[in-house]
Structure 1
Amino acid sequence: MRTLLDYLEAGDSLEVFLDHFPSVSREQAIAVLELAKEMLAAYANPA
């Protein structure tokens, strides 16, 4: 199954992902992206 990040990596928009997964809210998708951003920042700048 493709994930939100797979869709974005392929060049699809958030709207395309949400159209394919109507059970996911925009707020949920944004929360996932924010978490991924935090994880990448922590990985790039370890304490």
Structure 2
Amino acid sequence: MEWKERIVSDKNVLLGKPVIKGTRISVEFILERLADGWSESKILESYPHLKKEDLQAVFAYLNDFVKDGLMVELRSRVS
């Protein structure tokens, strides 16, 4: 999956956040839904203009960032 065909960033759309091409639905928004327990099916049913390939592009986009070393340091809590 070549995510660059489906994920775009434009400073005039959502302040430049990466979005699914042709929409104002951000990668961040999709991730929030998934983190809240939404299934891919529920996302696609709720946003019928999205395609399964759009969600695959979101995953491929994130995979590239993780693979390229974009990480957030996880710190353990001190009790």
1:25 pairs with 51, 56, 73, which one?
51
Deviations 1:1-47 (A, max 9, x none): 78211111001111111111110100111111111121123213xxx
State the TM-score, normalized to the length of structure 2: 0.48
Aligned length: 44
Instruction: Tell whether 2:35 aligns with 1:9.
Output: yes
In the alignment, the residues of structure 2 paired with residue 18 and residue 40 of structure 1 have an alpha-carbon distance, to the nearest angstrom, of 25
The answer to which structure has the higher strand fraction is: 2
Query: After TM superposition, where is structure 1 displaced by more than 4 Å over at least 4 residues in a row?
Result: none
State the TM-score, normalized to the length of structure 1: 0.73
- The amino acid that maps onto 2:32 is D
Larger radius of gyration: 2
- The amino acid that maps onto 1:11 is G
- The amino acid that maps onto 2:37 is G
Ranges in structure 2 where 5+ consecutive residues have no aligned partner: 1-24, 72-79
CA RMSD of aligned residues (A): 1.9
Say which SS state the counterpart of residue 32 (structure 2) adopts: helix
